[in-house]
Amino acid sequence: MTGLPLLGLDHLVLRVVNLDRMLAFYVGVLGCSIERRQDEIGLVQLRAGLSLIDLVPVDGKLGRQGGAAPGAEGRNMDHFCLRVEPFDAATIRAHLAAHGVDAGPTESRYGAEGEGPSVYLSDPEGNVVELKGPPGAVA
């Protein structure tokens, strides 16, 4: 074996300043569901297909362990990608626009399954989210 038998992304953790605003975006706009809350430690876990997105308020027990909040001087990460199928760029753009979310151009980009269409947008706290369609689909 040359490495570990990795299956895919299990979860990612975003440290957040405004939990309500982030929940409105990830649940109300992108369609995640709340899987579990542990308010006593400051953790909300959202279901995104087979993966989880954990939101950790920076002023909570877990969040305080991470130092300064993400902001103009630095971010938690460059971006993360959510796989979308079916990927209909016009429908996705209309949905995002209806929620006041601006998206970049739809372009063909390489991802875990190969080359396919994707679009970048930002959540309310500036984290970059890529929405990616299936390989071989037209951008």
Confidence (pLDDT) at 22: 96
Confidence (pLDDT) at 70: 73
Using alpha carbons, select from 128, 132, 124, 134 the residue that is nearest to residue 29. Answer: 124
DSSP 90: H
For 71-97, how does the pLDDT look when each residue is reduced to its tens digit (9 = 90+)?
776 667 778 999 999 999 999 999 999
Confidence (pLDDT) at 92: 94
Q: Is residue 120 within 8 Å of 79, Cβ to Cβ?
A: yes
| Residues pairing with 53 in the sheet | 12, 46
pTM for the structure as a whole: 0.81
Tens-binned pLDDT, residue by residue, of the chain (139 aa): 577 576 778 889 899 999 999 999 999 999 999 999 999 999 999 999 999 999 999 898 888 887 777 777 666 777 899 999 999 999 999 999 999 999 999 999 988 888 999 999 999 988 889 999 999 877 6
Using alpha carbons, select from 78, 121, 130 the residue that is nearest to residue 102. Answer: 121
Q: How far apart, in Å, are the Cα atoms of 50 and each of 39, 41, 45, 63?
A: 23, 24, 13, 24
Confidence (pLDDT) at 96: 95
For 42-51, how does the pLDDT look when each residue is reduced to its tens digit (9 = 90+)?
999 999 999 9
Q: Give the 3-state secondary structure of residue 99.
A: coil
